[in-house]
Amino acid sequence: MPGLENNLAVRRCLTFLTGLVECLCFAGAVFGWASLVYVLKTEGYFSNLCVNSTGVNSTQVLDCTGQDEQFSLVFTIASFMNNFLTLPSGFLFDRFGTTVSRIFGIFAYTTGTLTVAVSTPALSNLLFPALSFLAVGGILLLMTNMQVGNLFGSHRSTIITLYNGAFDSSSALFLVIKLLYESGVSLRASFFFLSGCSAIHLFRTFFLLPRHFIPYPLPDRYTYGITCGKLKAPSSEVVAKSNSESPAEETPLNKDAPVKQEKSFRECLLSWFFVWHLLWLSVIQLRHYMFIGTLYSMLHRLTAGEPTLVSQYINAFAITQLCGILCAPWNGLIMDRHKGKPRRPGESEQQADLRASVLSLFLTALQCLLFSVCASTSYLPLQYLTFILQVLNRSFLYGGNAAFISVAFPSCHFGKLYGLVMCLSALFSVMQYPCFALVNGVLGGDPLYVNIGLTVLSLMAFIHPFYVYQHCRSLTSQ
C-alpha cells in the first residue's frame, strides 16, 4: 500500500520537524537567563534592593549587589528544579505516557509564561515560581520528544542528540525577547505571545504524538495520533502484542552474555562508575550554572557598567548558544567512531562502547577546565572565547551523560539512573548561590578566589575518564 506508506513517512517527518522546532524555540529557554536579566533590570525588577553607597573619592554610587543576588537566586532555584524534577518527571512519563505528561508540561510552561507576563517590578517575587514552571515544563517537552528517535530506526541516536542540542540552543529565545524589547515590544506582549504558542504544543500532543509511547523497534505500519480516517491503525490485539513483546525486543541481542551479568539497580547505584560519573556531571554543571547565573554582574564589572558594552556581550553570548544544535552531534561521532571496525579479540560490543566513551569523557573535562580558566580571567575580549567553550562544553556534557549511562549500565535501569543522576547533581548545583553570596559579601565583589576554587574543583572531573580507562585496560589484560 504505497499511499499508506507515504502518509506514514510524511507524518513521521512532520513529527520530527515540529519536535525539533519545539525543542529549539521553547524547551530550554530558562538557560538564556542573562538576556532576560538585562530586560528585567531595565524594567526595574528588584530595584528596591539597590542602595546608595559611598564610592571612590567619596562619590555617591548606586550599589545593586542585593538586586544581583536576587536574580542569581531566581536562576539557582529554576536550574535546581530543572534537574531535580527530572526524576519524578520520568516516573510520570513512564506511568501515564506521552499525552498526560505533555499536558502537565504544557500547563507548567504556560503558567510560567503567563506569570512573567502579569508580573511587575512591584511583584518581582513572581519570577521565582515563573522561572521554575518554565524549567519544569521545558524538561517535560524535551523528555516526551526524545522518543521521536524511535520512529527512524538507525538514526535514532542522531535524532536524540539533535533534540538535546536544540534544547541547549533554545536559550537564545530570551535573546529574541531582549532584541524585541529594545525595538519597542513590551516584555508583557512577548510572554503573552509565548503563552499563546501553547496551542502549537497541544496540537502536536493530540495529532503528531502517541497517547502512550513510541515503541522500539518500531512495528510495521505503526500509526499514532489522530488518523482522521486516512490511516488504518493496528487492531487492539496487534498493539497489545507489540507492547507485550517490546521489552523482549529491547533486550541485548548478545545471546552469549549470561543473565547473571545483569546488575541490579542497587549494584549500579553503589558502583564506582555511578559515583565518579555523578561527580563528573556535578562539578562541570556547577561551573556552568555559576557562570550563567552571574554573567550579567560579571560583564557589568568588566565593562565598568557601560550599558552598550554589556548589551553587546550578552547578545554575543546568546548567539553562541544557537550553536548548541551544531555542536551536540560531534560527541556522538566520537562515541560511535569504533562502529563498523573490528573489535579487539575477546571484546564485546558493550566493552567497545565503554572504551570509546573514555575520549568523550576526557574531552568534556578538558573543555570545562579551559572554559573555567577563560571565565576566571578579567580580560573582556577573552570572554568571546569563553562563550564558545561554554556552549561546546555544555553540548558535550549532557549528550555524554546520557550516552555513558546507556553503555555502562543495563538498559533496564537507564530511566531510573538518568533521572537519579540529574536529581542528585541538582542538589550539588545549589552551591552556586552560597558562592555568589561569598563573592558579594566577604570578597567584596571580586570573584577571583571563587573562580580559582571552581577551576580547581573542575579538575576532579578527570577522575572519571581515568577510572574508566583503567577499567578498560584491566578487562583487556584478562
Residues 33-76: pLDDT tens digits?
888 988 999 898 988 888 877 655 566 677 778 888 888 888 88
Residue 51 forms beta bridges with which residues?
63
Residue 62 forms beta bridges with which residues?
52
> Would you call 180 exposed, middle or buried from its count of C-beta atoms within 10 A (0-12, 13-18, 19+)?
middle
Cα angle vertex 182, ends 176, 184, to 5°?
Answer: 105
The average pLDDT across 376-399 equals 88
Q: What is the CATH number that goes with domain 1-245? A: 1.20.1250.20
Residue 261: predicted pLDDT: 53
CATH topology of 1-245 equal to that of 267-478?
yes
Backbone angles phi, psi at 7, to 5 degrees: -65, -40
* Three-state SS at 319: helix
Instruction: Spell out the alpha helix ranges (H) of 183-335.
Output: 187-196, 198-207, 236-249, 265-269, 272-302, 307-321, 324-335
What is the distance between the terminal CA atoms of the chain, rounded to a whole angstrom? Answer: 54
* Three-state SS at 228: coil
Residue 259: predicted pLDDT: 43
The Cα 248–Cα 433 span in angstroms is: 46
Cell numbers for 83:
534537574
The Cα 198–Cα 29 span in angstroms is: 14
The Cα 173–Cα 295 span in angstroms is: 17
Q: Which residue shows C-alpha cell 506514514?
A: 8
Q: What is the pLDDT of residues 199-251, one digit of tens each?
A: 999 999 998 888 887 876 677 777 777 653 334 444 433 333 334 433 333 33
DSSP letter for 397, please: H
Contacting residues for 3 by C-beta, under 8 A, at least 6 apart: none
Residue 73: predicted pLDDT: 87
The average pLDDT across 102-109 equals 94
C-alpha 166 chain-centroid distance: 9
pLDDT of residue 269 exceeding 90, the answer is: no
Backbone angles phi, psi at 473, to 5 degrees: -65, -40
> Would you call 6 exposed, middle or buried from its count of C-beta atoms within 10 A (0-12, 13-18, 19+)?
exposed
* Three-state SS at 63: strand
Q: pLDDT category, 115, cuts 50, 70, 90? A: very high
Q: Mean pLDDT in the chain? A: 80
Identify residue 31 by its one-letter amino acid code. F
What percent of the chain is predicted at pLDDT more than 70? 84
Q: Which CATH superfamily is domain 267-478 in?
A: MFS general substrate transporter like domains (1.20.1250.20)
pLDDT of residue 117 exceeding 90, the answer is: yes
Q: Which residue shows C-alpha cell 524555540?
A: 25
Cell numbers for 415:
530511566
279 within 8 A of 461, measured Cβ to Cβ: yes
pLDDT of residue 444 exceeding 90, the answer is: no
Burial 29-49 (b: 16+ CB within 10 A, else e): bbbbbbbbbbbbbebebbeeb
The Cα 297–Cα 312 span in angstroms is: 14
What residue ranges do the domains of the chain occupy? 1-245, 267-478
Identify residue 370 by its one-letter amino acid code. L
Cell numbers for 222:
505503526
